[in-house]
């Protein structure tokens, strides 16, 4: 029988305890080394904002709405409702005492005009004769004016009664601008001259109305 003393019995326990203590110490050191370090919180920059209520604390007293004035009548949307500029009254018409159409037709320089004139129908001869008279009367009445075209039916139909022609809605072109004109003309029996003529010049015709009344700035497509 082998005798074991006390030192021999407790030596393994001491060794085990020392080993366990060393392992715990190593584990603690490892934990300290591996554990992540604590990060400082980020700096927050604050911005001062004044909050303003969308509704004022005290509303101004409500004003009573005044009734809107009646709208003025407008004719811009309806071209048919636009009335042409007024013409001078009948008592402002100029009565001619000298007539020029016969002399124009008899002028040797107008042989071609005279030849073509004879080929026209009776009513067309009256219209062209009175147009000649109208242009010459207007030209001689004002030396600064240079009328070069007249359309007797621009705004209204021509009135023909025998040898008398009435144009209440005509237009005359002076220096490229159209003006309202009215005239009355009485032809001689042979329709080669005039024996009575009167006329009145009206207002300028706006250019945006020319096309609607077959008026041109030049002679292209112009039916006089």
Domain presence at residue 221: no
Domain presence at residue 64: no
Range of the domain at 205: 85-213
CATH number at residue 209: 3.10.450.630
Domain presence at residue 71: no
**What's the domain count of the chain?**
1
User: Could you read off the pLDDT tens digit of each residue along the chain, which spans 224 residues?
Assistant: 444 454 555 455 445 555 555 555 555 544 444 444 444 444 433 333 333 333 334 444 545 545 544 444 444 444 444 444 454 454 588 999 999 999 999 999 999 999 999 999 889 999 999 999 999 999 998 767 789 999 999 999 999 999 999 999 999 999 899 999 999 999 999 999 999 999 999 999 999 999 999 998 766 555 44
Domain presence at residue 201: yes
Strand partners, 174: 147, 177
Strand 159-161 versus strand 147-151 pairing type? unpaired
CA distances from 174 to 104, 138, 162 (A): 20, 10, 30
Domain presence at residue 21: no
Q: What pTM value is reported for the model?
A: 0.58
Burial class (CB in 10 A: 0-12, 13-18, 19+), 192: middle
Domain presence at residue 45: no
Domain presence at residue 40: no
Q: Where are the beta strands (DSSP E) in 96-213?
A: 147-151, 159-161, 164-174, 177-187, 194-204
Count other Cβ atoms within 10 Å, centred on residue 93: 16
Domain presence at residue 133: yes
Triad 47, 53, 59: Cα angle to 5°: 150
CA distances from 200 to 31, 177, 181 (A): 119, 16, 6
């Amino acid at each position: 029988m082998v005798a074991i003393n006390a030192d021999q019995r407790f030596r393994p326990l001491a060794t085990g305890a020392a080993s366990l203590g060393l392992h715990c110490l190593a584990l603690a050191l490892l934990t300290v080394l591996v554990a992540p370090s604590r990060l400082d919180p980020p700096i927050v920059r604050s911005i001062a904002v004044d909050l303003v209520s969308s509704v004022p604390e005290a509303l101004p007293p409500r004003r009573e709405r005044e009734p809107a004035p009646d709208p003025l009548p407008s004719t811009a949307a309806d071209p048919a409702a636009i009335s042409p500029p007024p013409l001078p009254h009948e008592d402002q018409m100029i009565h001619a005492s000298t007539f020029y159409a016969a002399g124009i037709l008899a002028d040797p320089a107008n042989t071609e005009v005279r030849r073509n004139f004879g080929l026209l129908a009776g009513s067309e001869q009256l219209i062209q004769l009175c147009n000649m008279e109208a242009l010459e009367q207007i030209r001689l009445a004002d030396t600064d004016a240079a009328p070069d075209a007249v359309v007797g039916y621009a705004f209204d139909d021509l009135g023909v009664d025998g040898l008398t022609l009435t144009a209440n809605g005509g237009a005359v072109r002076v220096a490229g601008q159209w003006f309202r004109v009215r005239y009355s003309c009485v032809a001689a029996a042979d329709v080669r001259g005039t024996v009575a003529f009167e006329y009145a010049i009206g207002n300028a015709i706006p250019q945006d109305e020319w096309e609607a009344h077959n008026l041109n700035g030049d002679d292209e497509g112009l039916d006089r």
